[in-house]
Amino acid sequence: MRITVDDALAAWRDTVSTFMAEDIGVEYCRERYQNRAYPHALYDAVVQNGWIGTAIPEAYGGQGGDQVELAVLLEALGTYGYDFSMPVLTTATVCDLVLEFGTDDQKERFLPDVVAGDRRFSIGVTEPETGSDAASIRTRAEPTDAGYVVTGEKIYQSGAHAPGNAIGCYVRTDPDAGREGLSVLLIPNDFDGVEITKLPLVTRKAVGTAQVFFDDVVVPEDHRVGAEGDGWRLLEYHLIREHTHIAAAMVGNAQTAVDTALEHATERERFGRAVADFQAIGHRLADLQTEVDAARLLVYRSASRLDTDGGSRRLAAQAKLKAGEVLEEASSAGMQVLGGAGFFPENDMERYWREGKSATVAGATSEIQRSVISAAMRDQA
Ligand SMILES: Cc1cc2nc3c(=O)[nH]c(=O)nc-3n(C[C@H](O)[C@H](O)[C@H](O)COP(=O)(O)OP(=O)(O)OC[C@H]3O[C@@H](n4cnc5c(N)ncnc54)[C@H](O)[C@@H]3O)c2cc1C
């Protein structure tokens, strides 16, 4: 299990951390977030550096790296808000699905375009009436001679509106078959009948989330990934990856929340001494750093398992649960440590706080993760 950092991985970590700190910078992320503006320059730079294909095999133009290397990239991209990792994260997650379940033709058609920056992916699971209960997805894909005719809607679709985006969309191909009636279609956002409305959420303000309506959208059969009716199996494979990926980005964000609080507490003086010198504050920061380090270990353990034996649903759920709750806790404590200063957007903590509130919901709630973990514990007992 690869949870030690060798020289190559340390160099990769340095490269992507320096990129975020120096080439992108906190000011860029602050500006994008405040103006609800998509981080095009960040995504384009990731493509230009060749990093969008970190875990895509060289045969399709990627770097042929592993999931640990991808986690390192996502952790760095989450530094100034895990929002900023989302386009790379969702693209990588759907590419993993195409690599595992797609046909050779689909790999040839979609993956080199991803590497070139002409195609990206978002994740289409949640619907207004089906969030945690994904098995009850209603968006209907009726098989016809012309392909699938898709009707329905998805909600909270992160980055679905981005240029060149296709939604890795979970749809119902058989209305009477429960979990066995689900399938996955790649639906480009410029297909006729796709309508997208951005949502004014208090969080994810840069990349944005959207409501997506499908009105008799004709999707060719060769856009289906995996067999018809195999969507639930694909979703289980997908979630192990998505949860590991999102946990990596959340850890990056949580670390910055702690660093920002520490910096403020070190510089701010009250009663003739640094605020960090008060034991109540110093111990709080020590606890938070310990929690962030624990979350990071879970992330890299889960990513290592993906590389060695396909991963563990329990471990991925633990990583996402811990990282999400740590980000929520660290950013909330960070607001307290900054005092009134925390409430100004230019001091960044309010952005981490907004992101922290969504960290225990987006991608699967903490309650659902606890249920997954406890079921896995019982299975193993
Ligand atoms: C910022 C943001 C970005 C998102 N991005 C995406 C995206 O890109 N793609 C996508 O498909 N979705 C996305 N989502 C949706 C997200 O995954 C869902 O919001 C989440 O899965 C919860 O679904 P829900 O909102 O319908 O809540 P519900 O399922 O209605 O849950 C409401 C509450 O009930 C609890 N609950 C439900 N069932 C149980 C149970 N069995 N046991 C205990 N408690 C339970 C939940 O934990 C929660 O507290 C995003 C959400 C947010 C907030």
C-alpha 136 to ligand 1 mean position (Å): 13
Whether residue 189 has its Cβ less than 6 Å from ligand 1? no
Tokens 């320059």 belong to which residue?
A: 41
C-alpha 90 to ligand 1 mean position (Å): 17
Task: Provide the percentage of residues in the chain whose pLDDT is more than 90.
Answer: 97
Whether residue 361 has its Cβ less than 6 Å from ligand 1? yes
Q: What ranges do the domains of the chain cover? A: 7-118, 122-229, 232-380
Whether residue 164 has its Cβ less than 6 Å from ligand 1? no
CATH of domain 122-229: 2.40.110.10
Question: Whose C-alpha lies nearest to ligand 1, atom 23?
Answer: 131
Per-residue pLDDT band at 321 (split at 50, 70, 90): very high
Q: Which atom of ligand 1 is nearest to the CA of 132?
A: 29
Distances (CA, A) of 311 to 73, 108, 172, 244, 372: 19, 26, 27, 9, 14
Q: What is the pLDDT of residue 380?
A: 80
Collect all residues with Cβ–Cβ distance below 8 Å to 247 and sequence separation of at least 6: 295, 298, 299, 302, 316, 319, 320, 322, 323, 324
Q: Which of 126, 207, 355, 369 to mutate to test the pocket of ligand 1 (most atoms within 8 A of CB)?
A: 126
Higher per-residue confidence, 379 vs 1: 379
Residues 208-237 pLDDT 10s:
999 999 999 999 999 999 999 999 999 999
Whether residue 204 has its Cβ less than 6 Å from ligand 1? yes
Average pLDDT of the chain is 97
CATH of domain 232-380: 1.20.140.10
Whether residue 132 has its Cβ less than 6 Å from ligand 1? yes
Q: Which atom of ligand 1 is nearest to the CA of 158?
A: 8
Task: Report how far residue 186's alpha carbon sits from residue 202's, in angstroms, rounded to the nearest whole number.
Answer: 28
Whether residue 92 has its Cβ less than 6 Å from ligand 1? no
Q: Does residue 4 carry a pLDDT above 90?
A: no
Per-residue pLDDT band at 131 (split at 50, 70, 90): confident
Q: What is the pLDDT of residue 381?
A: 65
Q: Which atom of ligand 1 is nearest to the CA of 122?
A: 8
Residues 266-286 pLDDT 10s:
999 999 999 999 999 999 999
Q: pTM for the whole thing?
A: 0.97
Whether residue 63 has its Cβ less than 6 Å from ligand 1? no
Whether residue 374 has its Cβ less than 6 Å from ligand 1? no
Question: Whose C-alpha lies nearest to ligand 1, atom 17?
Answer: 363
CATH value of 7-118 in 1.10.540.10, 1.10.3720.10, 1.10.3730.10, 3.30.300.30: 1.10.540.10
C-alpha 364 to ligand 1 mean position (Å): 5
What DSSP letter does each residue of 16-39 carry, written as one string? HHHIIIIIIHHHHHHHHHHTT---
C-alpha 133 to ligand 1 mean position (Å): 9
Task: Report how far residue 372's alpha carbon sits from residue 55's, in angstroms, rounded to the nearest whole number.
Answer: 27
Q: What is the pLDDT of residue 1?
A: 46
Q: Does residue 316 carry a pLDDT above 50?
A: yes
Mean pLDDT of 24-28: 98
Question: Whose C-alpha lies nearest to ligand 1, atom 25?
Answer: 131
